[in-house]
Amino acid sequence: MDTIQDGGRYGHQHLGINPNGAMDRYAMQVANALVGNELNEAVIELHFPASVFMFSQPALIALSGADFSASINGEPVPNLHCIAVNKNDALQFHRPLHGARAYLAVRGGLEAIDWLQSKSTNLKAGVGGYKGRSLEKGDEIRIKRKEETLPFLKEEEFKVLPWSADIKFCENTKELLVLPGSEWDRLTGEAKDLFISTPFIVTKQSDRMGYRLLNNPLQAVTNEEMISSAVCFGTIQLLPDGKLIVLMADHQTAGGYPKVATVITAHHSRLAQLKAGDGIWFRLADHATAEEMLGRQQQHLQQLQNACILKLQNYLYAPIH
């Protein structure tokens, strides 16, 4: 399930086309910032066990999101650093330490199919990304802008550049802030208490379209059917059996189940790094809090991008002695 994804495909939901894009958009943007790309440039979204990559030319790469114990030519390499790789270097992943999805960004971006202003892979339609599908053994992904040489590598096979991204303020936790949804008041008082006071478990029936949660059934005040309405990444729907489903990057464009809450955008990264068996807690927030947290996250990304561009310019174009 390794695929090419970018910031998503927007403006077409009214036509029934889901947005796709990276599950952990924040991690994707951090990886792009580290190599000096535009923040929403296409990257490779990795799930464990992940692909092995052989580089046919020098490149600058970065890894972010989940930690899958990466190595180059058998030597461990860290997440959240810019790394210079040489021709014939092999990048592979050995075991999952934390998180569910890792991101590989390459300076210059990846050549991929552009469909409706996005290179994200739409697996249902079979378009975008690499031939509209997940990656397979033997696939060759080209880099849009090549690094002909990386002179500072000298005789080294690869080099971890001496700076990293600091994202401690956004560390992964199992607590997710949510806004009350348009059908929040369909829950009984007891169900509302359960929603904010008990853990929910991510089940194996979870994928890029949505996470099904295991929880004590939540009772609704009324069970009449609803007219379908628009949904988004992070929408939490109440199923007829009282269980919940959280919609993710490949979510449908509209749904007829009650929308009891929505995970705030700043916590989509936490949500995306959950895996089957993880427990989570929901906490109610207000719009002001959601906007303030998203603003801080976007400010941090902009500062990171600016700093990395300066670092790279100094490093790439400094005289070699």
CA-closest candidate to residue 57, choices 143, 156, 153? 143
Q: Are residues 277 and 303 in the same domain?
A: no
Q: Count Cβ atoms below 10 Å from residue 274 Cβ, excluding itself.
A: 24
Q: Are residues 157 and 8 in the same domain?
A: yes
CATH of the domain at 196: 2.40.100.10
Count of domains for the chain = 2
In tens digits, the chain (321 residues) has pLDDT values of 999 999 999 999 999 999 999 999 999 999 999 999 999 999 999 999 999 999 999 999 999 999 999 999 999 999 999 999 999 999 999 999 999 999 999 999 999 999 999 999 999 999 999 999 999 999 999 999 877 678 778 777 899 999 999 876 455 578 999 999 999 999 999 999 999 999 999 999 999 999 999 999 999 998 888 889 999 999 999 999 999 999 999 999 999 999 999 999 999 999 999 999 999 999 999 999 999 999 999 999 999 999 999 999 888 876 554
Q: Are residues 67 and 154 in the same domain?
A: yes
| Domain extent at residue 132 | 3-166+299-317
Q: Are residues 105 and 211 in the same domain?
A: no
| 210 falls within a domain | yes
| 195 falls within a domain | yes
- What is the C-alpha to C-alpha distance for residues 97 and 108, in angstroms, rounded to an integer? 29
| 72 falls within a domain | yes
Q: Are residues 10 and 97 in the same domain?
A: yes
The DSSP code sequence of 136-167 is: -TT----BSS-----GGGTT-SEEEEEEE---
| 151 falls within a domain | yes
| 291 falls within a domain | no
Q: Are residues 54 and 195 in the same domain?
A: no
Give the distance, in angstroms, between the CA of residue 260 and the centroid of all CA atoms in the same chain: 24
Give the distance, in angstroms, between the CA of residue 193 and the centroid of all CA atoms in the same chain: 30
| 22 falls within a domain | yes
Q: Are residues 161 and 33 in the same domain?
A: yes
| 142 falls within a domain | yes
Q: Are residues 258 and 303 in the same domain?
A: no
Q: Are residues 43 and 156 in the same domain?
A: yes
Q: Are residues 312 and 260 in the same domain?
A: no
- What is the C-alpha to C-alpha distance for residues 210 and 72, in angstroms, rounded to an integer? 33
- What is the C-alpha to C-alpha distance for residues 321 and 318, in angstroms, rounded to an integer? 9
Q: Are residues 158 and 194 in the same domain?
A: no
Q: Are residues 248 and 140 in the same domain?
A: no
Write out the H or E segment, with its range, that includes residue 271.
helix 268-272
| 294 falls within a domain | no
Give ∠ CA 49-51-53 in degrees, rounded to 5: 145
pTM above 0.85, yes or no: yes
